[in-house]
Chain A
Amino acid sequence: MEAESVIKLRDITFRYGEKLVMDRFSLEIPARGLTALSGPSGCGKTTLLRMLAGLAEPESGTLTGVDPARTALLFQEDRLLPWRTAREQIADVLPRSRRGEVERWLAFAELTGEGEAYPAGLSGGMARRLALARCAALGGELLLLDEPFAGVDRTRAQRLLDRLRGLEVPIILATHQPQVLAACDRAIGLDGPPLERV
């Protein structure tokens, strides 16, 4: 993705069933560095990330500057496979030619000694870090992270954020954590539902 590119949402309307989540919502997000989305729970941050990942189709409006097939979304829940070890979870998203990177991604999430652990044997914070490492390993032109540091202690979250920045991939993340917001290059405050404008 070019350094100057911008993700543009124009007059997007979106509903979950009867609930109006976006009402002719427009927004521009620079596709570079770390961008934080903040706002109260249920305001539409998750919906926005899912839309950028191609998992939520707007009722009307246009979305440009992002190819959903080249994004990697960290879901709000860990969504780890209960029957796969930490090492396997990462290997599962890597193409055969990149399987040698598994240990690197475990180290990225500070889970080097937990390669053979199953999700049920990990703490909430460890599982979150594993899910984050899996998403980062999948990679792409844009990382979309929904509450990436939920259950992760502050100092470790800061280290992870530094490592994410080191990937040199544009990142949009939704967070409630003030220290994460402060560490990002820009923050976009959202207020909804419905999201109308910023």
Chain B
Amino acid sequence: MKRPLKILIPLAFWLLVWTLASWAVGRDLLLPGPVRVGERFLALAGTADLWLSVGATLGRVFLGLFWGALAGTALAFATHFSPWADRLISPAVRVVRATPVVSFILLVYLWVPREAIPWVIAGLMVLPVVWGALSAGLGNLDGKLLEMARAYRFSRIKTLRLIYLPALRPHFSAGLLTAFGLAWKSGVAAEVICPPVRAVGSRIQQARLGLETPDLFAWTLTIVVLSLTLEGLLRRGLEWRRKV
């Protein structure tokens, strides 16, 4: 089967299911159909508000992704090389990973300004994922290559550049891709629960409060389209280009 058909057939199937379900329910308030949602989506796309909200949300998600990845990387190296750091930090990171995001949102709400909550939360969700992926990568590093580096008198910088970074790159990429999805979901969830002035999550909350279900769907559709598009771009950007 050709690639476009592989995408279009399931898409058409689910749009049909959605349409039939919407007809069966018979009320836009509960389940608007795809045509109605599409209309609202196009209408919103023509407003500056959508693009400004998307820009603000994107900024927060990427800020969270950046600091979470940076902190996760630093902590992975610290816990790998220092037994004491491992004893102190690893349990804390595991606790962060196991804590429901809603608990964090409500806790962080008490400590930081509302505008900062989404990126703080997104970073907190990213950190354990990147830490876990890099810790696994560091644990699986080929000791024989490291011994070779020592025997061949590689400097620390050279060992980092020629062995650690290439060996960890696939682990980092996989971790970052997983973390990206989490950053989106948790960042927008934080925007919904603690709405900043301008954010996609805030618009979702407004649509919910105003019982504007088609708008709620349209904003959600915006997030889904953005998330899939950016994840695809990120995947390409991080593609492991080893020629072997």
> Residues on A close to B: CB < 8 A?
53-55, 69, 72-73, 75, 77, 79, 81-84, 92-93, 118-121, 134, 138
Nearest 6 CB-CB pairings of A with B: A120-B244, A79-B148, A83-B166, A118-B244, A93-B152, A73-B151
CB-based contact A81/B151 at 8 Å? no
Report the minimum CB–CB distance from B229 to chain A (whole Å): 30
Report the minimum CB–CB distance from A127 to chain B (whole Å): 12
A84 with B144, Cβ < 8 A, contacts A53-B151, A118-B244, A120-B244 known: no
Q: A53-B151, A118-B242 are in contact. List 13 more A-B contacts (CB 8 A).
A: A54-B151, A55-B150, A55-B151, A69-B153, A72-B152, A73-B151, A79-B147, A79-B148, A81-B162, A81-B163, A83-B166, A83-B244, A118-B244
- Can you identify 10 A-B contacts, CB atoms within 8 angstroms? A54-B151, A55-B150, A69-B153, A75-B148, A81-B163, A83-B244, A84-B162, A93-B152, A119-B244, A138-B152
Nearest to A77 among chain B residues (CB) is B144
CB-based contact B147/A81 at 8 Å? no
Q: How far is the CA of A75 from the CA of B162 in the complex (A)?
A: 18
Interface flags, B140-175, vs A, CB<8A=1, else 0:
000011011011111000100011001000000000
Contact of A81 among B145, B150, B153, B243 (CB under 8 A): B145
B: interface residue count bin: 10 to 19
Residues of chain B within 8 A (CB-CB) of A75 are: 144, 147-148, 151
Residues of chain B within 8 A (CB-CB) of A79 are: 144-145, 147-148
Nearest to B144 among chain A residues (CB) is A79
CB-based contact A92/B162 at 8 Å? yes
Q: How far is the CA of A60 from the CA of B153 in the complex (A)?
A: 26
Report the minimum CB–CB distance from A23 to chain B (whole Å): 25
**B 14-72 contacts with A by CB, 8 A:** none
Q: How far is the CA of A17 from the CA of B27 in the complex (A)?
A: 75
Residues of chain B within 8 A (CB-CB) of A73 are: 151
Report the minimum CB–CB distance from A130 to chain B (whole Å): 13
- By CB atoms of chain A within 10 A, which of B152, B153, B163, B166 has the most? B152
CB-based contact B162/A55 at 8 Å? no
Residues of chain A within 8 A (CB-CB) of B243 are: 118
- By CB atoms of chain A within 10 A, which of B154, B166, B243 has the most? B243
Residues of chain B within 8 A (CB-CB) of A121 are: 244
Q: How far is the CA of A121 from the CA of B154 in the complex (A)?
A: 25
Residues of chain B within 8 A (CB-CB) of A54 are: 151
Nearest to B243 among chain A residues (CB) is A118
